[in-house]
Amino acid sequence: MKKAVFPGSFDPVTLGHVDIIERALPLFDEIILGIGVNSDKKYMFSLEERVNFLNETFKQEKKIRVETYTGLTVDFCKKENAGFILRGLRNALDLEFEKTIGQANFEMAGIETVFLIASPGKGHISSTVVRDIKKHGGDYGFMVPAIVKP
Ligand code: ADP
C-alpha cells in the first residue's frame, strides 16, 4: 500500500494545495493531510477551522484522511507507515527550500519526497497572500475552496 503524507500548515487550505492533492491521488493508495502543529508559530485560522476546511473540501474522497501532528514530519510518517512525503513546487524559491528538507528527511528516515509542480495558473496562490488579503479586509475567495470563502 503506497501511502503519502502531505504536510503543511494549511492556514488556510488553498486551491493551490487542492491542485497538488487531486493530481497526486492516482499515485497513492492513501494521502494523509498532516497539519503540523508548531507551538512557536502564530496561525490565522484555528486548528479546528483548518481541520474542518480540509475535511469538508475532501469529504467525497475516500483516499484522503486528515490528521494533526507535532514533532518531526518523518516521525509522523513512520507512525502512519507512510513511505512518501508529498509537496508542491511553485517556483525556484520553493525548490531551494524544499530541497534541503527533502534531503534531510531522506537521510533521517529513508522517506522519499514526491514533488508536483503547480498547474499553470495556480502557482501564484499562497496561504500567505490569502492571510494578507484577509487581514486587510479584501476578498480572497478566488484562491480558496468554497468552505473557506468569507
Ligand atoms: P508550510 O507552512 O509547510 O509552507 P503550506 O500549507 O504553506 O505549508 O504548504 C504546503 C505545501 O503546499 C508546500 O509544499 C507548498 O509548496 C505547497 N503549495 C502551497 N501553495 C501551492 C500552490 N499554489 N501550488 C503548488 N503547491 C503549493
Q: What is the pLDDT of residues 31-67, one digit of tens each?
A: 999 999 998 999 999 999 999 999 999 999 999 999 9
Contact, 89 vs 125, CB < 8 A? no
Domains assigned to the chain: 3-148 (3.40.50.620)
Q: Which of 14, 20, 116 to mutate to test the pocket of ligand 1 (most atoms within 8 A of CB)?
A: 20
Burial class (CB in 10 A: 0-12, 13-18, 19+), 137: exposed
**Does the model's pTM come out above 0.85?**
yes
pLDDT digits (tens, 9 = 90+) for 104-130: 999 999 999 999 999 999 999 999 999
Any binding-site annotation on 124? Answer: yes
